């Protein structure tokens, strides 16, 4: 068996897609961006092809794939897929008019996407009312039963006790993922004697992964740091202001704290201080203490 996965971004989306590796057998090729390389270190991956390497992309035309799992809304890559030999394609492709289309077995995911056949308004509504996790949808997309399959980061989790890591950075795409309470939370936890570690972005993703691996619990938004923490089997307290908490499977080790203004700011990309300040510090503080005292 030989499978080609096409997923190049965003980084958190690449990492959460590694759950597919838990069910795939044989040779697995993965097209991605260079900055995602450190997220794809699983020994189940036969070869990583970078999306800017024209020679490597062309070489794929000489290989026969049993399955292509096409997850990227990128017309250039979808044009390439037209010339790749395969038996089955799951996910996105270009129709005869070069418009986005997707396979029936991937309807549940792409009906909620930017390329939804229903248009953006209904896609956003479907995403808002969806109660299945991304993990479940993706495993079912490839015809398997979801039973809590884990991410596959290719990095062994460290057994660390007593260290709380705080990932306050949220990136530029979703500014409402910020939270105003991190400084106050740090003070409260510091006064209780907890050991704290601020986790910034580092020069390399590998260093960022290592920083998170050196913690017992991570406090963060719905960000790459959250996905890395889940992949490393850390305890997580995650804050959701504007993106769907139901889409994230908690693996029994994450507390989700949802803004009381979540409905108002769902999928809003315009930064607003009201929602950034809406989650009470004490709610996060109590969640952290409870998680840290749990076995």
* Residues 127-144, mean pLDDT to the nearest whole number: 97
- Mean pLDDT over residues 132-142, rounded? 98
Q: Quick one: 106 and 181 in the same domain? A: no
pLDDT in tens, 209-239: 999 999 999 999 999 999 999 999 999 999 9
Work out the average pLDDT over 87-96. 97
Residues 103-130 have a mean pLDDT of: 96
- The answer to the question of residue 64 being in a domain is yes
Which range (32-36, 170-174, 180-184, 197-201) has the least confidence? 170-174
170 pLDDT above the threshold of 90:
no
Claim to verify: residue 121 and residue 194 sit in the same structural domain:
no
Rg (CA), the chain: 20
Q: What is the chain's length?
A: 295
Range of the domain at 101: 2-141
Q: Phi and psi at residue 3, in whole multiples of 5°? A: -125, 140
Question: CATH number of the domain that 27 lies in?
Answer: 3.40.50
Q: Please tell me the total count of domains within the chain.
A: 2
The reply to whether 232 falls in a domain is yes
Q: Which residue has the higher pLDDT, 169 or 109?
A: 109
Same domain assignment for residues 211 and 168: yes
pLDDT band at 87; cut points 50, 70, 90: very high
Q: Are residues 188 and 234 in the same domain?
A: yes
Q: What SS3 state is found at 69?
A: strand
Q: At 253, which CATH number?
A: 3.40.50.2000
Cα dihedral across residues 87, 91, 95, 98: positive or negative: negative
- What is the rounded CA–CA span in Å between residue 102 and residue 90? 8
**Whole-number pLDDT of residue 173:** 87
Q: Which residues contact 110 (CB under 8 A, 6 or more apart)?
A: 91, 92, 102, 116
Position 118 pLDDT exceeds 90: yes
Prediction pTM value: 0.95
Q: Within the chain, what is the greatest distance between any pair of CA atoms?
A: 63
Within-domain flag for 149: no
Task: Provide the angle, in degrees to the nearest 10, between the axes of the packed helices 182-191 and 281-293.
Answer: 40
What confidence tier does 9 reach under pLDDT thresholds 50, 70, 90? confident
Q: Are residues 135 and 173 in the same domain?
A: no
**Residue with the two structure tokens 């699983």:** 42
For residue 212, is it within any domain? Answer: yes
Write the pLDDT tens digit of every residue in 249-295: 999 999 999 999 999 999 998 999 999 999 999 999 999 999 999 87
> Could you tell me if 70 and 135 lie in one domain?
yes
Answer whether residue 259 is part of any domain. yes
Structure tokens at 263: 């409905």
Q: pLDDT class for 172, splitting at 50, 70, 90?
A: confident
User: 274 and 191, same structural domain?
Assistant: yes
Task: Tell me: pLDDT of 62 over 90.
Answer: yes
Q: Is there a domain that residue 151 lies in?
A: no
**Would you say 276 and 176 are in contact if contact means Cβ atoms under 8 Å apart?**
yes
């Amino acid at each position: 068996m030989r499978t080609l996965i096409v997923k190049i971004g965003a980084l958190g989306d690449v990492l959460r897609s590694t759950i597919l590796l838990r069910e795939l057998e044989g040779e697995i090729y993965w097209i991605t961006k260079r900055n995602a390389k450190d997220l794809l270190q699983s020994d189940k991956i036969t070869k990583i092809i970078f999306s800017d390497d024209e020679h490597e992309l062309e070489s794929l035309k000489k290989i026969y794939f049993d399955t292509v799992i096409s997850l990227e809304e990128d017309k250039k890559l979808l044009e390439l897929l037209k010339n790749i030999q395969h038996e089955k394609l799951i996910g996105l492709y270009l129709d005869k008019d070069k418009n986005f289309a997707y396979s029936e077995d991937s309807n549940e995911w792409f009906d909620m996407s930017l390329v939804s056949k229903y248009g953006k308004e209904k896609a956003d509504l479907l995403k808002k009312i969806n109660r299945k996790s991304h993990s479940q949808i993706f495993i079912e997309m490839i015809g398997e039963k979801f039973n809590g399959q884990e991410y596959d980061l290719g990095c062994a989790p460290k057994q660390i006790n007593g260290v709380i890591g705080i990932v306050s950075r949220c990136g530029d795409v979703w500014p409402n993922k910020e939270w105003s309470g991190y400084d106050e939370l740090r003070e409260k936890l510091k006064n209780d004697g907890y050991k704290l570690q601020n986790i910034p972005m580092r020069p390399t993703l590998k260093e960022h992964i290592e920083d998170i691996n050196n913690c017992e619990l991570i406090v963060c938004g719905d960000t790459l740091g959250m996905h890395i923490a889940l992949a490393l089997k850390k305890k997580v307290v995650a804050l959701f202001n504007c993106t769907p908490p139901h889409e994230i499977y908690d693996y029994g080790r994450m507390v989700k704290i949802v803004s009381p203004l979540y409905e108002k700011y769902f999928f809003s990309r315009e930064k607003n201080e009201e929602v950034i300040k809406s989650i009470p510090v004490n709610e996060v503080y109590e969640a952290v203490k409870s998680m840290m005292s749990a076995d």
